[in-house]
Structure 1
Amino acid sequence: MILTVTPNPSLDRTYEVPALDRGAVLRATTDRIDPGGKGVNVSRALAAGGHRTLAVLPLGGPAGAALAGLLGAEGIEVAGVPVAGQTRSNISVAEPDGTLTKVNAAGPELTAEEAEALLRKVGERWAGADWIACCGSLPRGLAPEWYAELVARAHRAGTRIALDTSGPSLTAALRERPDVIKPNAEELAQAVGRPLATLGDAVKAAEELRDCGARAVLASLGADGQLLVDEDGTHFGGAPVAAVRSNVGAGDASLAGFLAAGGTGVAALAAAVAHGAAAVQLPGSLMPAPKDLDPSAVRVTDAVPLDRELTEPAP
């Protein structure tokens, strides 16, 4: 069982439009509303693959109730912590070429009591969990050290932690040695304080994060594939994608695939790549089911082409 923690969940509405013309009245060709937040998406991808998962998250107001209902409809068990603020709603506008414009709300500000209640809820439910996946930004009211405290408590209980966050909350958590972290290229660059132009740059950045405390780094590099840097070395994986429809939640699907495949080693990296490649070809933040995966298309190697330039260099 994989338990996910999403401190700042959302309702995500996605509109597909022929073109995004600023100042114009746009008519969507399709629209959908999905549960949102990085940990929520990990649970959704796990559930889509038939894996048991439990989502721990704060819930507030009608939007929070709607979010819990949508998750329940997908077969996901929810352990909600009531909060006074309103669960946020986000909007994404997707164009035919895969360009995505997102408007993310700030979300509620949690009180100190609500922040501690969220930690306690995780502690009450982590028995029997193979992994805890802590994902996403921290809402207002939670100190950058909140994830670090959660990692420390989980490790004392003997539970492995996967962490997908960035900025000060990632920096603070590294000292507690999370078992795996999952940055994208931009987050890697931010963490080491310099731009990344090549795969070699990304490998070096991941190695530095391991030096800072991460036991393994699973780095999503968009169209360039994924890197796994751990105690066994460095491996690089990729898969062809016919057309990108939406990249919302693709990194979350990758993490779900990685953890469902054990969370360590080359086989887990291959599963992460297959899930990420499938996710970008689906609308909105729809998570891939087994029928959407093409494991035979995945290629993983330890001969990393270090000089290869990134398609989208990270500033």
Structure 2
Amino acid sequence: MQRLPARAFAVLATIGTLALAGCGAESGGTGEEAASAPAVRTVRAQEVMQVTRAHGESGTTLLEGPAFGRDGGLFVVDVTAPGGEPKVIRVNVREKTSRAVYTDDRGAYTSAQFSPYDGRLYLSDFAHGEVVSLAPDGGDRRTFFSGDVDGARMNPDDIAFDRKGNLYVSDSRGLSEGEARGRVVRIDREGTEAGVLAKGLASPNGIAFDAHDRGLWFSELTENRISYLRLDSEGGAASRHTAIRVDGGIAQTDSIAVDADGNLYQGLYGRAAMAVYDRHGERLATVELPPQAKGLDSATNVAITPGGTRAYMTVSGPAGGYLYAFDALAEGTRQSNGG
């Protein structure tokens, strides 16, 4: 999550050529069509706590992740954190406390997710085209994957794991140039083989498996659309189509989470809200902040408590980086926990 032409514009001046992403909403019909359409719920999220403040050098902060660890801690990343300041943070949502887990002097980490294969925390480094992993305590940093994929370096934004631990990446290559050169990349669980499943995409950002692990939902930042990539039995691409068009106005589609019923939670960059759709593309709800919330302009991602319905949304803006909570429409699973 970030944006120069969207997500990293202000921050990326300080981090280099970084650029990130996201946000969206929807419009309704009129007349008889609108009268017969089901009402879209408004869900009010409530503030849990402030996690970060705007950094002095860049004047901004951008929370992403978030992912629950096995110990119940909620891990988030601060995309814009400079070297020496916390880049991975563990939050105790019950006690409303947080502590630094990891930092370095180079990475711009845009997502976090725990692998079902080795239990490590995986981070995408948008700025350096790498995927790295950490032990749950933040130590033992390893480079999982680095280098070109089909002759081009990635700008990895979000990540999703299949049940075996193979990794699927939204590669926002071409974002800073405004060209549709993005890809969906699959990396095997050992980090040795990588291939392109889809290309020519408009800055792909969010990515998550559907409720049955049969295919991938992914959002395209600069087209404000959500596409569906059906997978074959070997984890390769079987088919692809545009599934949902998100009318976001000045906002753009960011990260995606999926609950146990298959509902999609689409983060919005440029508006502090989330759009919720069912698997058939029907708009079910809009998650919004209380009217008194000020200085927050993006809701990038969400984690739904595994086996529960309490959802924690990462929200950022000039006022800082915050967690807001709401009740999801269905229980959380691995696909609603990080990425």
TM-score between the two structures when normalised by the length of structure 2: 0.36
| TM-score relative to the length of structure 1 | 0.37
More helix by share: 1
Greater relative contact order (CA < 8 Å, ≥ 6 in sequence):
2
